[in-house]
Amino acid sequence: MGRGDLTNAEWDRLESFLPLGGARGGRWSDHRRVINGVLYRVRTGVQWRDLPERFGPWETVYKRHRRWSADGTWAMLLSRIQSAEDAVGGIDWDVSVDSTVVRAHQHAAGARKAPARGPSKGDRWGDEPGRSGVEETGSPAGGSGQIGECLGRSRGGFTTKIHLAADGRCRPLALVLTPGHYGDGPQFERVLEQVSVPRTGVGRPRTRPDHVLADKAYTSRKTRRYLRRRGIRHTIPERLDQQRHRKNRGSRGGRPTGFDSERYKKRNTVERAINRLKGFRAVATRYEKRAYIYLGTVTLAALVIWLRT
């Protein structure tokens, strides 16, 4: 077993959730070897063609990652692990929200504006067609141009932004990608809507945190109304210009927002979660042209963090 590969305990937690062979063919190539190959690439950031031979053909590893990014397998595995943790009370539901900018490599540019909806002549989606038990998976809808592929120009240059919510133990609960120049506040509701941890027994998934912490980028009235409507307590500081505007309006300005400075100190958990994600070099620098493949890469990194925390 190489450094960074799945341990026996981690593999035991994942194995039962992995897709079986489809009706039209035989078996997948060994799941554990292929997943370790994807992990090696996500951890080191090497080109797919440079994967060590012990992981098998690089095309098999890459195509498995592309297929599972497209059909939601990585997201499903992350959801199952989160569900198992929640069942034993292992999730701290004091959730923090923030974002981070990721520099896109020059190779991330140049994706076709009209993604193909099916395999081209002489090509196949996945390493073994039909063996995931689903129909052939093309590129998910939404990718078109730089904005559609979550690429933009910001102060950091050619970038993508990762918006995330993290639990109190520094583990990502929800992930959203946008171009690098998009603001944080407008994505707040979208991020919280992605928080959904299924129950292991009967019942709806848990979607409401006990408490939400965020910085001044999320201090809009719209954000606070959304949290009050859902009955979610929150700790978000008020910007100085908002304080001045409220005071200048006198009695019409309303009451000052409540703020617990001691509880706000716990917001560092999302910063630490970002630090853990960026420990994976293929997350810290984006190489993928397609947003859905890069989201699969970030989701796999989050899955590893949950397995090892």
Read off the DSSP letter of residue 186: G
| Percent of the chain predicted with pLDDT > 70 | 85
Q: Which residues pair with 177 in a beta bridge?
A: 162
Report which of 168, 172, 141, 140 is spatially closest to residue 235, judged by C-alpha positions. Answer: 168
CA distance 6 to 73: 17
pLDDT classification of 132: cutoffs 50, 70, 90 = very low
Report which of 192, 241, 230 is spatially closest to residue 214, judged by C-alpha positions. Answer: 192
Alpha-helical (H) ranges within the chain are: 8-15, 31-44, 58-70, 73-87, 145-148, 188-193, 221-229, 240-248, 261-264, 268-277, 281-284, 291-307
Q: 180 with 159: CB under 8 angstroms?
A: yes
CA distance 100 to 161: 6
Report which of 33, 43, 105, 80 is spatially closest to residue 199, judged by C-alpha positions. Answer: 80
Backbone phi, psi, residue 164, to 5° = -150, 155
| pLDDT for res 230 | 96
> What's the whole-number mean pLDDT along residues 1-28?
81
| pLDDT for res 111 | 87
| pLDDT for res 27 | 66
| pLDDT for res 114 | 58
Span 224-236, pLDDT tens digits: 999 999 999 999 9
Three-class SS of residue 166?
A: strand
pLDDT at 271 over 90: yes
| Token pair 């809009």: residue | 220
Span 73-120, pLDDT tens digits: 999 999 999 999 999 999 999 999 999 999 999 999 988 875 444 444
- Cα angle: 19, vertex 43, 154; to 5 degrees: 105
CA distance 218 to 112: 34
Span 196-209, pLDDT tens digits: 999 988 889 999 99
Q: 183 with 152: CB under 8 angstroms?
A: no
CB-count exposure of residue 232 (10 Å: 0-12, 13-18, 19+): middle
Span 228-260, pLDDT tens digits: 999 999 999 987 777 677 777 776 666 667 788
CA distance 199 to 176: 22
Q: 82 with 309: CB under 8 angstroms?
A: no
Question: Amino acid identity, residue 45?
Answer: G
> What's the whole-number mean pLDDT along residues 123-141?
42
CA distance 209 to 207: 7
Span 145-193, pLDDT tens digits: 788 999 999 888 999 999 999 999 999 999 999 999 999 999 999 999 9
> What's the whole-number mean pLDDT along residues 212-232?
94
> What's the whole-number mean pLDDT along residues 134-147?
57
| Token pair 């026996």: residue | 8
Span 50-76, pLDDT tens digits: 999 999 999 999 999 999 999 999 999
pLDDT classification of 25: cutoffs 50, 70, 90 = low
- In a 13 Å sphere around the CA of 184, the CA atoms on its Cβ side amount to 15
| pLDDT for res 260 | 85
Q: Looking at the whole model, is its pTM more than 0.85?
A: yes
Report which of 130, 128, 109, 100 is spatially closest to residue 23, judged by C-alpha positions. Answer: 130
Q: How many residues does the chain have?
A: 309
Read off the DSSP letter of residue 284: H
| pLDDT for res 118 | 47
